[in-house]
Amino acid sequence: MTILCVRFQPPPTHEAALPGLLGLLEEFTPVVEALPPDGALADLRGAERYFGRDAVELASVIRVRALALHGVDCAIGAGPGPMLARMALRDARPGVTRAVSGEPDAVAEFLAGRPVAALPGVGPATARTLCEYGLDTLGRVAGAPLSTLQRLIGAKAGRELLEKANGIDRGRVVPNAVSRSLAAERPFDMDELDTDRHRRALLSAAGEIGARLRAVEKVCRTLTLTVRYADRTSTTRSRTLAEPTAHSAALTGAAYGMYEALGLQRARVRALALRAEGLTSADQAAHQLTFDPVDEKVRRIEEVADRARAKFGPRAVMPGTLAA
């Protein structure tokens, strides 16, 4: 067992807390992959040799340090590969590590009775197709002929499914992997006609994305707006920003601009979503200096608000328009 899949419980109240928890894992291995908002994968192959302990023993040390330094417990799954570690995590609970041995018989026993939908990468449609032919457990899938699976779900998908059902895990932990996009959605309780409510939803979503970008020290190059209507149709618009930014005011302005360009008139809107794309490191992004003192003041206020939200929760500071 060399891979740990860790989920912090309770989850970090703010995205800025996750890097600190990842740093705890990086004390044992540099091969750590973040799984926002509350988890991570860690490859402990080198750590097992260096510390002279197996992955389960190291998981116990990680759990104690997380409690002592951050006040959070960990649910941990351990396995010979990322797929099995993720699946083991589903059976784990705080205080106990669920481990899957790398022995072929142990892996087969762990997988055999599980529903086919429990396998990462198997969606509802694929699971439904397999169940219609009696392949409702991973044990039955593992014993099925390759030609049968390929006929049901396709050549490549069938081959990959058979390998995974037999415990062959070709995945790996990608260190420092980060999301290429961040999204925030604001659904309405009822189909909404009021444009003021639409704008408030956009203000809230843009503020959330800005705070999340700043927490992970990223900026975005493109902002995408998706409007979902009552008849289940949707409209999507994208805008390349004047400069890469994580500034909430700039993101809000871009969101308003795209919304107004749609020219919606009494549209029954079910949900609004914003997605920040083209993420890059904030350290590598250029910022056009301005002589406007208001801009500098707003950015300083934003920094103070971020610190307050990190300490007291995401609703500690918000625009007055959203306070009600």
Q: In what order do the strands lie in the sheet with 73-79?
A: 32-35, 39-43, 3-9, 73-79, 97-99
For residue 305, the model assigns a pLDDT of: 76
Nearest to 219 by CA among 246, 243, 254: 246
For residue 284, the model assigns a pLDDT of: 67
For residue 60, the model assigns a pLDDT of: 92
Nearest to 116 by CA among 96, 144, 97, 77: 144
pTM flag (> 0.75) = no
- Cα gap 224→237, rounded to integer Å: 6
Spatial CB neighbours of 224, under 8 Å, sequence gap ≥ 6: 236, 237, 238, 239, 274, 275, 277
For residue 293, the model assigns a pLDDT of: 65
For residue 62, the model assigns a pLDDT of: 93
For residue 179, the model assigns a pLDDT of: 57
pLDDT tens per residue, the chain (324 residues)?
Answer: 689 999 888 665 545 556 677 888 988 999 998 876 678 899 998 899 889 999 889 999 999 998 888 888 889 999 999 999 999 998 888 888 999 988 889 999 999 989 998 888 888 888 899 999 999 999 999 999 999 999 999 999 899 999 999 988 888 888 865 556 688 889 998 899 999 999 999 999 999 899 888 888 888 989 999 999 988 888 999 999 988 998 999 999 999 999 999 988 888 999 999 989 888 887 766 666 566 666 667 777 777 777 877 777 777 777 777 766
- Cα gap 273→295, rounded to integer Å: 26
- Are the C-beta atoms of 257 and 249 separated by less than 8 Å? no
- Cα gap 15→154, rounded to integer Å: 39
